[in-house]
């Protein structure tokens, strides 16, 4: 950094400023998606809301683009930019659990696994996502679905308040009483309105043991498995959240050697109610055909990290997603046919089952638009590095096109910024217009634009 202003800025931060000359610059500018390679002017490691306000003021005064980073898992890499400032919330790691009031106050740099560990000490949990190194902040601000959603709803449905720093450096608290419009906006509208420095969640009794399923069959059985899964999951109580998966079987010890690298269809589930009841309900699916069945009673924390090995840091990935009403007929066939085309052992299709508590929240209560969808389908074109990435990306795009006739929307946290669809598609006209009004009030200059951007109206 050069100049007196930069020096003052650097000295006034409780955290640390990392510039291009620092030894850990390369490590610090990296985000989870390995295909993103951007070089910010510097990275402000913010330890307090005051640091965030200082970084924003400095970035604005210097005319720099501002990226905000929590867990760094944005698929399109919105949390890092070229030649701008990264407001890195990583150091803000506090988690305060009140087991009596059943609430948690969570710093913006906390990862899912860290929050799950803290709450599970009391047998409690916030419904979060499915990979433990994802950031609570970005996941929640977009909606946040995961293994408890059919029983308890999305992560945003548990929010009771947030603390936020505006583009002007003002510190605000938003809840249904204080700034209800802003509170509505942050429950799905992403980081468009300011930098959230802490989240307050309602907690629920979960686990400590859940029934956690992972089973798969060779892809040749996909039509039968998909049809059986459709009926089985349609009858599921809310304690069960499931996903249908297509990919190549990983070369893990728990997977029979003859299936390593072969295309498979899988069912993944989490039963968070009474475990023996879950075992009874899961039986027909587990016994269907010749399933390779890795279902087990696991601690909730263990379950939450179960998919981590499939999503290591540095993976090159392109995500294309669509909400669909059902996996019947041509949707099911399209997915199976796409699964036959998967080349990379890292690529895959995940179709999450919605319904239950997600659908019981009114369509305008939060900006999250997919509440009435049957399934959220994500096509993940991925490789370990640049080799073959272009091909996998094209596969995901062409799969997305095949789903277009059936698509009823898209989850904002699964979108890229490839220009294929407007951000409005993730919200629908009414919610989008309301978000634009909130944006005009809190960020009229669109300082927070490195995101799935909602321009002020």
Q: Which residues bind ligand FAD (CB under 6 A)?
A: 32, 68-75, 78-79, 89, 108, 129-131, 134-135, 137-139, 141-146, 190-191, 195-196, 311, 413, 451
Instruction: Considering the complex, state which of residue 70 and residue 236 has its C-beta at the smaller distance from ligand FAD.
Output: 70
Q: How far is the CB of 144 from ligand FAD (least distance, A)?
A: 5
Closest-CA residue to 304 (of 98, 160, 119, 74)? 119
Instruction: Considering the complex, state which of residue 108 and residue 291 has its C-beta at the smaller distance from ligand FAD.
Output: 108
Q: How far is the CB of 364 from ligand FAD (least distance, A)?
A: 20
Contact 424, 432 (CB under 8 A): yes
Q: How far is the CB of 455 from ligand FAD (least distance, A)?
A: 15
Instruction: Considering the complex, state which of residue 135 and residue 207 has its C-beta at the smaller distance from ligand FAD.
Output: 135
Helix/strand/coil for 151: helix
Instruction: Considering the complex, state which of residue 89 and residue 339 has its C-beta at the smaller distance from ligand FAD.
Output: 89
Contact 365, 281 (CB under 8 A): no
Q: How far apart are CA 340 and CA 324, in angstroms?
A: 20
Q: How far is the CB of 390 from ligand FAD (least distance, A)?
A: 20
Q: How far is the CB of 51 from ligand FAD (least distance, A)?
A: 13
Contact 322, 377 (CB under 8 A): yes
Q: How far is the CB of 306 from ligand FAD (least distance, A)?
A: 12
Instruction: Considering the complex, state which of residue 119 and residue 134 has its C-beta at the smaller distance from ligand FAD.
Output: 134
DSSP assignment string, 251-291:
--TTS-GGGTTSEEEEEEEEE-S-HHHHHHHHHHHHTSTT-
Q: How far is the CB of 319 from ligand FAD (least distance, A)?
A: 8
Q: Which residues lie below 8 Å from residue 266, measured CB to CB, with a gap of 6+?
A: 214, 215, 216, 217, 244, 245, 246, 247
Q: How far is the CB of 209 from ligand FAD (least distance, A)?
A: 21
Instruction: Considering the complex, state which of residue 142 and residue 207 has its C-beta at the smaller distance from ligand FAD.
Output: 142
Phi, psi of 317 (to 5 degrees): -145, 145
Closest-CA residue to 292 (of 345, 246, 247, 255)? 255
Contact 144, 154 (CB under 8 A): yes
Helix/strand/coil for 3: helix
Contact 289, 349 (CB under 8 A): no
DSSP assignment string, 216-234:
EEEGGGHHHHHHHHHHHHH
Instruction: Considering the complex, state which of residue 139 and residue 377 has its C-beta at the smaller distance from ligand FAD.
Output: 139
Instruction: Considering the complex, state which of residue 13 and residue 380 has its C-beta at the smaller distance from ligand FAD.
Output: 380
Instruction: Considering the complex, state which of residue 131 and residue 285 has its C-beta at the smaller distance from ligand FAD.
Output: 131
Q: How far is the CB of 235 from ligand FAD (least distance, A)?
A: 24
Instruction: Considering the complex, state which of residue 180 and residue 312 has its C-beta at the smaller distance from ligand FAD.
Output: 312
Phi, psi of 376 (to 5 degrees): -105, 120
Closest-CA residue to 194 (of 106, 89, 81)? 89
Phi, psi of 420 (to 5 degrees): -70, -35
289: left (phi over 0), alpha (psi -120 to 50) or beta: left
Q: How far is the CB of 321 from ligand FAD (least distance, A)?
A: 10
């Amino acid at each position: 950094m050069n100049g007196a202003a930069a020096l003052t800025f650097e000295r006034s931060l409780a955290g640390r400023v990392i510039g291009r000359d620092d030894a850990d610059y390369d490590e610090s500018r990296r985000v989870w998606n390995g295909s993103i390679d951007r070089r910010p002017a510097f990275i402000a490691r913010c330890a307090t809301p005051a640091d965030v306000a200082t970084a924003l003021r400095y970035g604005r005064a210097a005319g720099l683009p501002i990226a905000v980073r929590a867990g760094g898992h944005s698929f399109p890499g919105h949390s890092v930019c070229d030649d701008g400032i990264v407001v890195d919330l990583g150091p803000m790691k506090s988690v305060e659990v009140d087991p009596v009031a059943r609430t948690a106050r969570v710093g913006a740099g906390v990862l899912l696994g860290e929050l799950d560990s803290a709450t599970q000490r009391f047998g409690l949990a916030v419904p979060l996502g499915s990979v433990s190194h994802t950031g609570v902040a970005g996941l929640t601000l977009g909606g946040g679905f995961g293994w408890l959603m059919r029983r308890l709803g999305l992560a945003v449905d548990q929010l009771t308040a947030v603390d936020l720093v505006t583009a002007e450096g003002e510190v605000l608290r938003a809840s249904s009483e204080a700034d209800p419009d802003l509170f509505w906006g942050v429950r799905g509208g992403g980081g468009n309105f300011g930098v959230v420095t802490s989240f307050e969640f309602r907690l629920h009794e979960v686990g400590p043991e859940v029934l956690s399923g992972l089973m798969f069959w060779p892809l040749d059985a996909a039509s039968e498995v998909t049809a059986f899964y459709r009926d089985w999951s349609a009858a599921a109580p809310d304690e069960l959240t499931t996903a249908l998966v297509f990919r190549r079987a990983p070369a893990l010890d728990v997977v029979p050697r003859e299936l390593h690298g072969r295309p498979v269809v899988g069912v993944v589930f989490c039963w968070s109610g009474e475990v023996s009841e879950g075992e009874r309900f899961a039986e027909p699916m587990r016994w269907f055909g010749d399933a390779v069945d890795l279902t087990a009673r696991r601690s909730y924390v263990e379950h939450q990290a179960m998919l981590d090995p499939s999503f290591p840091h540095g993976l090159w990935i392109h995500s294309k997603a669509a909400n669909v009403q059902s996996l019947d007929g041509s949707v099911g066939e399209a997915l199976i046919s796409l699964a036959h085309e998967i080349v990379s052992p890292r690529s895959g299709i995940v179709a999450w089952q919605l319904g239950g508590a997600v659908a019981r929240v009114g369509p305008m209560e939060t900006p999250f638009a997919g509440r009435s969808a049957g399934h959220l389908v994500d096509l993940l074109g991925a490789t370990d590095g640049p080799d073959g990435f272009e091909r996998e990306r094209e596969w995901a795009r062409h799969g997305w096109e095949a789903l277009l006739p059936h698509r009823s929307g898209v989850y904002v946290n699964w979108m890229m910024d490839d220009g294929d669809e407007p951000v409005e598609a993730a919200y629908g006209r009414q919610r989008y217009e309301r978000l634009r009004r909130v944006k005009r009030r809190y960020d009229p200059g669109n300082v927070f634009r490195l995101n799935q951007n909602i321009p002020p109206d």
